[in-house]
Amino acid sequence: MTATAPILEVDDVSKNFEASRGLLGMPLLSRKREVVRAVSEVSLSLGQSEVLALVGESGCGKSTLGRVIAGLIRPTSGELRFAGISHTVLSAAERRDWARNVQMIFQNPYASLNARQTIREIIEEPLRVHRIVPKSDIAARADELLDQVGLDPSFGKRQPHQLSGGQCQRVGIARALTVVPRVLVCDEPVSALDVSIQAQVLNLFADLREELTIAYLFISHDLGVVERLSDRVAVMYLGRIVETATRDDLFSSPKHPYTQTLLDAVPKIGRSRAHSVKVSGERPSPLDPPSGCHFHPRCPHATDRCRVEIPHLKAVGSNQFAACHLYE
Partner 1 sequence: MGKLSAFTDSKLVLLAIGLLGITILAALFAPWIAPQDPYDLAQLYILDARLPPLTRNADGTLFLLGTDDQGRDVFSAVLYGLRISLGVAFVATAIAVVLGTSIGLLSAYAGGRTDAVLMRIVDMQLSFPAVLIALMLVALLGTGIEKVTIAIVAVQWARYARTVRGAAMVEREREYVEAAQCLAYSPSRVMFRHILPNCMAPLSILATVEVASAISIEATLSFLGVGLPITQPSLGLLIANGYPFMLSGNYWLSIYPGLVLIAVIIAINIVGDRLREVLNPRSER
Ligand X SMILES: Nc1ncnc2c1ncn2[C@@H]1O[C@H](COP(=O)(O)OP(=O)(O)O)[C@@H](O)[C@H]1O
Where on the chain is the footprint of ligand X (CB under 6 A)?
A: 17, 19, 36, 38, 56, 58-64, 286
Contact partner at residue 86 from ligand X, partner 1, Mg ion, none, CB < 5 to 8 Å by partner kind = none
**For Mg ion, the closer CB: 7 or 185:** 185
Q: Where does the chain have alpha helices with state H?
A: 62-69, 92-101, 119-129, 138-148, 165-177, 195-211, 223-229, 247-252, 257-264, 304-308
Residue type, 140: A
* Alpha-carbon gap, residue 57 to 221, rounded angstroms: 6
Q: With binding defined as CB under 8 A, does residue 19 bind partner 1?
A: no
Q: Which residue lies nearer to ligand X by CB, 57 or 97? A: 57
Chain-centroid distance of CA 5 in Å reads 21
237 near partner 1 (CB under 8 A): no
Q: How far is the CB of 151 from Mg ion (least distance, A)?
A: 26
Cα 15 from Cα 35, distance rounded (Å): 10
Cβ neighbors of 322 (< 8 A, separation 6 or more) are 242, 243, 255, 256, 259, 313, 314, 316
Q: How far is the CB of 7 from partner 1 (least distance, A)?
A: 18
Pick the closer one to Mg ion by CB: 14 or 63: 63
- Residue placing its CB nearer to Mg ion in the complex, 63 or 198: 63
253: Cβ–Cβ under 8 A, 6 or more apart, which residues? 317, 320
Q: Judged by CB under 8 A, which stretch of 81-89, 107-115, 247-255, 274-282 contacts partner 1? A: 107-115
E-strand ranges in the chain read 6-20, 33-47, 51-55, 77-82, 85-87, 102-105, 183-187, 215-220, 232-237, 240-246, 314-315, 321-322
Binder among 14, 40, 48, 63 for Mg ion (CB under 5 A): 63
The amino acid at residue 68 is V
Q: Is 67 in the site for partner 1 (CB under 8 A)?
A: yes
14, 48, 64, 112: which one binds partner 1 (CB under 8 A): 112
Give the interface segment with partner 1, choosing from 63-71, 198-206, 285-293, 295-303 (CB under 8 A).
63-71
Closest approach, Cβ 182 to ligand X, in A, equals: 23
Task: Give the residues lining the site for partner 1 (CB under 8 A).
Answer: 67, 70-72, 92, 95-96, 98-100, 103-104, 106-108, 110-117, 125-126, 129-130, 161, 172, 175, 179
